[in-house]
Amino acid sequence: MVKVSRKAWLGGVWLSLLPLIATAQITDPLHLESGLLAGISGSDPAVRVYRGVPYAAPPVDALRWHAPQTPPSWEGVREADTFGPGCMQNIAGSRPPWTEEFMHQGSVSEDCLYLNVWTTAKNANEKRPVLVYIHGGGFSEGSGSVAVYDGEALAKKGVVVVIINYRLGVIGFLAHPEMTAGSSDHASGNFGLLDQVAALQWIQQNIAAFGGDPNNVTIAGQSAGAMAVYLLTAAPPAKDLFHRAIVQSGPGGLASFGLSSTHALARPLSEAEAGGAEFAEAKGASSLQELRAMSVDELTAGPAAGGGPLRFGPVIDGYFLPDSVPAIYAQGTQHDVPMLMGFNADEPSAFPGYGKAMVESFRETARESYGESAEAFLALYPAATDAEAGHAQKTSQRDLAAVAIEQLAAERAQTAKADLYLYYFERGIPWPERPEFGAFHTAEVPYFFNTLDMLDRPWESLDRRLADTMSSYWVHFATDGNPNGAELPEWPAYDGQDVRFMRLGERVAPDAMANRATRDFFEGYLAE
């Protein structure tokens, strides 16, 4: 996989004999812990891109279901001009509203622990802020090579962008009693999360070569990536590896999907081990050794591979996660870093029937969901017609997500001192053929990455302005933990009293999301 030219190798040997001084111009090859690395120009020649850079050893053969190991060194100059394969997953290609630009395209492999870097730094001593993005996909799909994750526009605004792969599905999150017993940490199940820690450790050791500051690292993620970010803020192995966190459509924000609590972030180890034993039995394996002997295709074939009835995800394993996330925050033992958190207006719009509820079905769902409190719910969200029922369905789900995030913010504030900023993204991607999706789950990603041109949509000037504004907010936050800048509308920090979300849409301004009555109702519901 490593492409090395003799000319580049000889040049690298000569360069390695020169003294390394902090003011040296950043020119290829870069000197990393593992060897010399050469990148390529972005679409803007001011941007250097390094694709498919290994941050850990290939987790194959004996390293399957083990913590990631140090990446092997290479001789000569490694040409980082091609994305590495995605981690093992079922390739969907497209699943509207997630068109090809939002999904992994290309090959997959167990040998997948690669990352990609975008930088416009001129000197190795520039110490630019580093933004590390962790992709979503339900811990079962996605990769760092997804089109809308292109880091060039953010790099041009002054940050060094790093986007990583991590193990997924059964390969990344299988727990098993034998695996736990044989582990020096007495843990199993969080290999994909340990990959993320390994990537952050690699950044500490190597990012200065790209002009980045290892003491100014922001982790960001959306959906499962946001869950991972929040877990990392509670994980002892991630201590001192990052300094800010961005949580997009993660804990709290997914309340409209029925994931209304941070308790849904991870399962107890015993439950995960039981699921792993069930998986092994379904595969006809009577031991962990037999599971390890199976090909990756055998392991991921059928509905039990990530995305089927038996899903794999984070575990309260006693090592990466010593307790539930709410308990860790209540104890005040989390990594107290500035945080930016929010959700989208139409998170569940991919579900059939979203916003199209009939009066009777809306009332029936209310009775199923809220039981004895159903009449109180229906008084807050009255619907005499089908059109009103569809609107009430959308509004109530948005209010539930907003209150869940406010509750999460209040719980965090009990022990956290670092600032928190909340947002509400409400701009529906222009899509005349599919207007029903609105501001769907993941719709904010091409705006904050400022990658609208990766999508063939009838963009308006409003979209261009919003993408420029959001990318600037994210870059400012990654720079100093505060999204505000002189050219931007003022974004207030959470204060626990006058709770306001930054509306990101046709209007960019702080606003309250729930009135007192809806807040009281959903706080009671969430408490139950």
C-alpha span between 345 and 485 (Å, rounded): 25
C-alpha span between 159 and 138 (Å, rounded): 27
C-alpha span between 439 and 380 (Å, rounded): 24
The pLDDT tens digits for 344-359 are 999 999 988 899 999 9
Residues with catalytic function: 223, 347, 441
CB 374 within 8 A of CB 366: yes
Backbone φ, ψ for residue 278 (5° rounding)? -65, -40
Burial class (CB in 10 A: 0-12, 13-18, 19+), 338: buried
Predicted local confidence at residue 510, as pLDDT: 97
Where does 83-212 have alpha helices with state H? 152-156, 169-173, 177-181, 191-206
CB 390 within 8 A of CB 452: no
Predicted local confidence at residue 60, as pLDDT: 95
CB 163 within 8 A of CB 133: yes
CB 433 within 8 A of CB 456: no
Sign of the dihedral through C-alpha 309, 314, 319, 322: negative
C-alpha span between 369 and 373 (Å, rounded): 9
Domains, the chain, in order of start with CATH, read 1-337 (3.40.50.1820), 341-528 (3.40.50.1820)
Sign of the dihedral through C-alpha 227, 233, 234, 235: positive
CA distances to 193, 195, 228, 430, 438 from 173, rounded to whole Å, are 9, 11, 12, 36, 32
Torsion of CA 143, 144, 150, 154, to 10 degrees: 130
Q: What is the CA radius of gyration of the chain?
A: 23
CB 190 within 8 A of CB 315: yes
pTM for the predicted model, two decimal places: 0.92
Copy the structure tokens of residue 398: 């948005």
**What's the average pLDDT block by block, 10 residues per block, for the chain (528 residues)?**
42 38 62 96 96 98 95 97 96 92 96 98 93 96 97 98 97 96 94 98 98 98 97 98 97 69 78 94 92 93 52 93 95 98 95 90 94 95 95 95 95 97 97 95 98 97 98 98 96 94 97 93 89
Copy the structure tokens of residue 367: 């009775």
Predicted local confidence at residue 15, as pLDDT: 37
C-alpha span between 297 and 216 (Å, rounded): 40
Predicted local confidence at residue 253, as pLDDT: 77
Give the SS3 label for residue 452: helix
C-alpha span between 524 and 10 (Å, rounded): 69
Predicted local confidence at residue 16, as pLDDT: 41
Residue 278: which of 312, 316, 324 has the closest Cα?
Answer: 312
